[in-house]
C-alpha cells in the first residue's frame, strides 16, 4: 500500500504532492522567472530536434531511429515482455489438449481382473484453474506492468540515442567552427611570419623575431591537426549512432550554426510524468508489488476443474468404436501445508525486490530533478558568459588591429604583436566553445524534460530572446 501512495505522488500534478520521501517543488530553482511560452508538460513527445532547424540533424536522427542497434535491442525486449503478458493472460483461459497413448498393463491385480495386455487411448482433456483469490489476475497485472516498463524504457532509449546524435553532431559542427577560426589565425600568423622575415631582411628585426613568429604558426597548425583528429572521432561516433559502418560514413565540413531554441521548463510535478525513465522505474516498482501479492497468495488453496472424453481400447483396431468411449470429470483442490520454507523464502525475496525497486524509483525521481536543474543553471550562466566573452573578442580584435598597425610602423615589438594575436585567438576559441556549450545544454534540457517539443513555439521563443 505504501507503494501505491508513492506512485500516486509521482504522478501528481499539483505542487507539494508527496514523492520520493519529500515534496515536489512548485517551480525549478534555476528556472528564469521571465520564462514564458508553452510549458514542457504541454508538449507532445515528437520531433524536438526540428527546433534546431538543421536538415542534416533531422536526417541523422531519422536514420538513428531506424537503424540504431541499441534501440533495436530495447524494441526486442519490449516484444519479449508483451509475449509474457499474453502467456500470463492465457493462464486464465481453459486449457484443451488432445492426448493419444499406448501402454502395456501387467501385475497380479491386473491379471486377476483379466485385464492384462495392451491399452490404447485417445482423449481430449480440458482443464481450467478457478481464480479463487485473484492470483492469476495478479500475475497478469504484474506481466502487464513489466511490459509497460519496457515500453517506457524503449521511449527512454530512443530519446537517449536521439540526444546523443544531436550532441555529437553539434560537437562536430562546433569543431568545424573552431577549425575555421584556427585557419584564419594560421593565415594571420603566416602574414606575420612574412612581415617579420621582410623586416629581418631589411635589418629592422632579428632572427629571433622570425623564429618566434614561426613557432606561433607551428603551434597553431598543430592545434588545427588536433581538432581534425577530434573531428574524425566525432564522425565515427555519429556513424555508430546511426547504425552505419564508420568506414562508409562521412559528413562534409560546415561552419553553419543551427538555430538555438529557447525551452521553457514547466513545473517539476508535470515533468516527472514526461520522463520515460521515471515512468519505467515506477512501473517496475508496481510490478514488484504485484509479484509480492502473488507470493502472499501462494499459501492459499487452488482449485482446478478437469474434464476428459475420448476412447480407450485394448486393441488398436477397436480404439474408435463407439463401445470404447470413455469420459471423466474431476476437481482438484490443493492446499499447501509444508514446503520446507520455500514459500516463505519466496515471500521474503518478493518483499526485498519491492524495497529495492521503490528505492530505485525514488532515486530516479531525484535524478530527474537534478538533471533539469543542472541544465537550467548551465543555460542561464552560459548566456551571461557568452555575452561577456563576445565583448572580450571585440576588445581583443581591436587590440590586434592596433598592434599590427604599430608593429608595421615600428612602434611596438614583435612580442607585443604576437601576444595580441594569441589573446585574440584564445578569446575567439573560448567564445565559440561557450556558444556551442549552449547548444549542448539545450539538448540536455530537452532530454531532462522528457523530450518532445513544439518546434514552432521553441523557435518563436528563441527569436524573442534574440538568439
**Residues 6 or more apart whose Cβ sits within 8 Å of residue 328:** 306, 307, 308, 309
Question: How much is the pTM?
Answer: 0.79
Query: What cell does 214 get?
Result: 614561426
Instruction: Give the model confidence (pLDDT) of 349-372 as tens digits.
Output: 999 999 999 999 999 988 888 998
15-29, 123-137, 145-159, 184-198: segment of lowest average pLDDT: 15-29
In order, the DSSP letters of 97-157 are EEEEEEEEE-SHHHHHTT--EEEEEEEEEEEEEE-TTSHHHHHHHHHHHHHHHHHHHHHHH
Mean pLDDT of the chain: 81
**Residues 6 or more apart whose Cβ sits within 8 Å of residue 48:** 162, 446, 451, 452, 453, 455
pLDDT at 101: 80
Query: What cell does 380 get?
Result: 542561464
Q: What is the CA radius of gyration of the chain?
A: 36
pLDDT at 225: 94
**Residues 6 or more apart whose Cβ sits within 8 Å of residue 103:** 118, 119, 121
DSSP state of 38: S
Instruction: Name all domains of the chain by residue range, CATH numbers in brackets.
Output: 2-92+136-299+348-464 (1.20.1600.10)
Instruction: Give the model confidence (pLDDT) of 307-321 as tens digits.
Output: 888 777 776 766 777
Distance CA 10, CA 281 (A): 11
Please, are residues 120 and 127 in contact by the beta-carbon 8 Å criterion? no
pLDDT at 39: 45
Decide: helix, strand or coil at residue 255. coil
**Residues 6 or more apart whose Cβ sits within 8 Å of residue 413:** 407
Report the percentage of the chain scoring pLDDT > 70. Answer: 84
Q: Report the pLDDT averaged over residues 41-69.
A: 82
Instruction: Give the model confidence (pLDDT) of 408-465 as tens digits.
Output: 887 887 778 888 888 888 899 999 999 999 999 999 998 888 886 544 444 444 444 4
DSSP state of 256: P
- Pairing of β 117-130 and β 302-313: antiparallel
pLDDT at 460: 44
Query: What cell does 417 get?
Result: 604583436
Report the percentage of the chain scoring pLDDT > 90. Answer: 32
pLDDT at 117: 67
Distance CA 144, CA 86 (A): 9
* Spatial CA neighbour of 406 closest among 183, 195, 181: 195
Please, are residues 441 and 378 in contact by the beta-carbon 8 Å criterion? yes
Amino acid at each position: 500500500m505504501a507503494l501505491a501512495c508513492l506512485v500516486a505522488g509521482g504522478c501528481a500534478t499539483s505542487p507539494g504532492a508527496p514523492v520520493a520521501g519529500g515534496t515536489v517543488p512548485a517551480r525549478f530553482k534555476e528556472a528564469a522567472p521571465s520564462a514564458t511560452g508553452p510549458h514542457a508538460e504541454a508538449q507532445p513527445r515528437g520531433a524536438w530536434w526540428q527546433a534546431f532547424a538543421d536538415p542534416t540533424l533531422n536526417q541523422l536522427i531519422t536514420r538513428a531511429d531506424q537503424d540504431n542497434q541499441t534501440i533495436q535491442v530495447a524494441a526486442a525486449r519490449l516484444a519479449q515482455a508483451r509475449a509474457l503478458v499474453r502467456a500470463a493472460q492465457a493462464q486464465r483461459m481453459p486449457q484443451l489438449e488432445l492426448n493419444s497413448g499406448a501402454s502395456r498393463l501387467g501385475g497380479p491385480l491386473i491379471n486377476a481382473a483379466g485385464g492384462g495386455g495392451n491399452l490404447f487411448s485417445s482423449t481430449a482433456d480440458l482443464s481450467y484453474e478457478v481464480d479463487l483469490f485473484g492470483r492469476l489476475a495478479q500475475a497478469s497485472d504484474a506481466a502487464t506492468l513489466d511490459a509497460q516498463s519496457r515500453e517506457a524504457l524503449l521511449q527512454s532509449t530512443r530519446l537517449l540515442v536521439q540526444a546523443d546524435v544531436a550532441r555529437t553532431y553539434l560537437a562536430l559542427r562546433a569543431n568545424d567552427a573552431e577549425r575555421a577560426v584556427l585557419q584564419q589565425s594560421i593565415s594571420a600568423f603566416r602574414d606575420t611570419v612574412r612581415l617579420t622575415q621582410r623586416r629581418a631582411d631589411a635589418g629592422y628585426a632579428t632572427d629571433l623575431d622570425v623564429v618566434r613568429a614561426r613557432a606561433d604558426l607551428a603551434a597553431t597548425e598543430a592545434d588545427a591537426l588536433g581538432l581534425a583528429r577530434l573531428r574524425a572521432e566525432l564522425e565515427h561516433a555519429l556513424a555508430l549512432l546511426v547504425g552505419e559502418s564508420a568506414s562508409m560514413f562521412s559528413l562534409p565540413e560546415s561552419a553553419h550554426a543551427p538555430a538555438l531554441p529557447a525551452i521553457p521548463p514547466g513545473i517539476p510535478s508535470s515533468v516527472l510524468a514526461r520522463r520515460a525513465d521515471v515512468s519505467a522505474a515506477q512501473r517496475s516498482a508496481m510490478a514488484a508489488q504485484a509479484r509480492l501479492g502473488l507470493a502472499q497468495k501462494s499459501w492459499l488453496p487452488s482449485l482446478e476443474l478437469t474434464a476428459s472424453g475420448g476412447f480407450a481400447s485394448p486393441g488398436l483396431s477397436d480404439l474408435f468404436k463407439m463401445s470404447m468411449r470413455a469420459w471423466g470429470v474431476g476437481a482438484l483442490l490443493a492446499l499447501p501445508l509444508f514446503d520446507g520454507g520455500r514459500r516463505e523464502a519466496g515471500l521474503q525475496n518478493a518483499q526485498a525486490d519491492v524495497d529495492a525497486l521503490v528505492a530505485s524509483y525514488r532515486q530516479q525521481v531525484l535524478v530527474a530533478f537534478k538533471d533539469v536543474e543542472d541544465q537550467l543553471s548551465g543555460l542561464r550562466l552560459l548566456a551571461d558568459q557568452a555575452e561577456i566573452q563576445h565583448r572580450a573578442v571585440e576588445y581583443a580584435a581591436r587590440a590586434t588591429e592596433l598592434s599590427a598597425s604599430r608593429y608595421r610602423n615600428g612602434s611596438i615589438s614583435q612580442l607585443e604583436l604576437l601576444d595580441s594575436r594569441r589573446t585574440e585567438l584564445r578569446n575567439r576559441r573560448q567564445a565559440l566553445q561557450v556558444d556551442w556549450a549552449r547548444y549542448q545544454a539545450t539538448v540536455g534540457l530537452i532530454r531532462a524534460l522528457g523530450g518532445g517539443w513544439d518546434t514552432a513555439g521553441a523557435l518563436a521563443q528563441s527569436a524573442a530572446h534574440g538568439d
